[in-house]
Amino acid sequence: MTTARELDDRYGRTARRPLPWIIGGIIAVAIIVAFGWMTVARGMNSVDAVDMGFTVTDSHTVDLRFQYTAPRGTDVVCIVQALDEEFGIVGWKVLEMPATQQHTKAVDVRIPTVATATTGLVKTCWVA
């Protein structure tokens, strides 16, 4: 009579070992948790800015109003621009805003220009 072990050896079947599957599962979960945390951490430190309006004061000045939303208690840096009718940059400014306890804050800024601008906008903002 042939035993089950002899049949397994004859046909190349091996006993299942759960250890590699367990280790692979732990590694997969660790990778998913790491990417999830990186996504959450990046979202916690993000800054959103919205243009509220602009006024072309004269051929060398644009007044811009915008608001930004950032984590409380963090310094924020924004770059604002003035563009001409061909979307060329005719003025820009770097704004450094100190930390506040407000989640959303409105800002008025005057941008000096080298030529007449047709618009003013926020280029980007980030946590300093």
Q: What residue ranges define each of the domains in the chain, with the CATH number in brackets?
A: 4-44 (no CATH), 48-127 (2.60.40.10)
CA atoms within 13 A on the CB side of 24: 5
Residue 2 banded pLDDT, cuts 50, 70, 90: confident
Res 97: pLDDT: 92
21 pLDDT higher than 80? yes
Residue 64 banded pLDDT, cuts 50, 70, 90: very high
Mean pLDDT value across residues 45-69: 93
* 12-21, 82-91, 106-115: least confident range: 12-21
CA atoms within 13 A on the CB side of 58: 2
Res 23: pLDDT: 92
Quick one: which of 121, 109, 110 has its CA closest to 83? 121
Could you tell me the CA-to-CA distances from 92 to 11, 73, 87, 114, 124 in Å, in that order? 75, 26, 13, 10, 12
What is the average pLDDT score of the chain?
A: 90
